[in-house]
């Protein structure tokens, strides 16, 4: 990564690298503390910047933020560029072992998932109001997650959640 010779300017590649790293960091932090896997929470994001773009002595594109002087008319409007970057997330390869037929087997068992789900404060509160709930869990091999749902005595879905394996 090259350093900018003018402190007002920054290499475009450095900006995009930092923006991508920041998005990755935010993506990783999503879902922490609530039992969600965050590998694919946000599938797409767009960063749009209006700036003056030029080339440095090595030919690398640099951007210069627009100041109030620029916006007041000291800058030719045709010198302003719009930089739009689309970040698209991709799913990571599942970590669990794959069977010989290509299917993925869960690490946790169904009873363990159901037991942990039944102990959640929100589900206990719903059972106090609605009465006993039937909890079902299905493993979704493609995403390495469990789809867990709770239905009341009338068969109405009252809670559904994806839990990481």
Chain segment 76-118, per-residue pLDDT in tens? 666 678 888 877 665 554 444 444 444 578 999 999 999 999 9
Strongest mean pLDDT among 31-35, 127-131, 142-146: 127-131
Name the residue ranges covered by the structural domains of the chain.
Answer: 10-88, 110-164
Q: Bigger pLDDT: 110 or 11? A: 110
- Residue 12 sits at the vertex; the CA angle it makes with 10 and 18, to the nearest 5 degrees, is 85
Task: Give the per-residue pLDDT at 99.
Answer: 44
| Polymer length of the chain | 165
Q: Residue for token digits 């007002």?
A: 8
**Mean pLDDT, to the nearest integer, of 12-39?**
67
Task: Give the per-residue pLDDT at 3.
Answer: 41
Provide the token pair at 55.
């080339």
CB 27 within 8 A of CB 41: yes
CA-to-CA distance for 5 and 111, rounded, in angstroms?
Answer: 62
Rounded CA Rg of the chain: 25
Q: Residue for token digits 């900018």?
A: 4
């Amino acid at each position: 990564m090259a350093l900018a010779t003018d402190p007002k300017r920054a290499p475009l590649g450095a900006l995009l690298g930092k923006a991508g790293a920041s998005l990755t960091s935010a993506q990783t932090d999503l879902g922490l503390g609530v039992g969600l896997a965050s590998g694919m929470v946000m599938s797409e994001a767009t960063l749009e910047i209006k700036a003056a773009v030029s080339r440095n002595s090595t030919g690398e594109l640099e951007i210069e933020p627009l100041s109030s002087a620029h916006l007041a008319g000291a800058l030719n409007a045709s010198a302003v560029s719009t930089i739009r970057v689309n970040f698209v997330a991709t799913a990571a390869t599942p970590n669990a072992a794959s069977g010989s037929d290509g299917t993925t087997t869960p690490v946790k068992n169904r009873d363990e998932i159901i037991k942990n789900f039944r102990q959640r404060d929100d589900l206990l509160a719903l059972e106090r109001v609605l009465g006993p709930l039937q909890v079902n869990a299905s493993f979704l091999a493609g995403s390495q997650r469990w789809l867990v749902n709770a239905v009341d005595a009338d068969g109405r879905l009252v809670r559904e959640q994806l839990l990481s394996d």
